[in-house]
Amino acid sequence: MPDDSIEDPAAVHRGIEPAEQAAAMMAAAGMARMPARAMMALVAAPEGGYTAAQLAERLGASAAAISGAVRYLQQLHFIQRRSRPGERRDRYEFVHDPFASSIVGNMPVYSRLSEYIDDIAAEHTDDQGAHDRAVELAEFFRFLSTRMLQIVEDWREHRRDIAG
């Protein structure tokens, strides 16, 4: 059975400081701290990712903290859990292109959200302030939906161009 302990983390883990800095920025932008740290650790992970124990060791975190973080990141489809033949423990890996996939996957949410906010506006025809706020927010979500889809398409085209 493979050993999950890492005698010299610096020898195996590279990019620790920039990963922690990126995680701190993500946390400052509103993402929970431990999922941000776990995600950035998996971005910098060696080929094949980390087991939960290795991730806990890498981050100096408890098993419970890692469990919550990976569960959250899996729900967002940012990471995936994989099993390997001959190993008893699953490994976590960063998903290829998760943000573009997440944006595309959330397009129906933005559309439905704008419809709900339109309903708010419709129920406030006698309150100009509430009506105008709702109309503007609904229009923002429609705009966001259209632009984000275009950004994803542009990104994918850009990736194809640089891949040759």
Delimit the domains of the chain by residue range: 9-95, 100-163
Helix, strand, coil % over all residues of the chain, rounded to 5: 65, 5, 25
pLDDT tens for 104-159 read: 888 888 889 999 999 999 999 999 999 999 999 999 999 998 898 899 999 999 99
pLDDT of res. 7? 44
Residue-wise DSSP of 21-56: HHHHHHHHTTS-HHHHHHHHHHHSPPTT-EEHHHHH
The pTM is what?
0.75
pLDDT tens for 49-106 read: 999 999 999 999 999 999 999 999 999 889 999 988 888 899 999 988 888 888 888 8
pLDDT tens for 6-48 read: 444 444 678 899 999 999 999 999 999 999 999 999 999 998 8
Q: According to CATH, what is the number of the domain 9-95?
A: 1.10.10.10
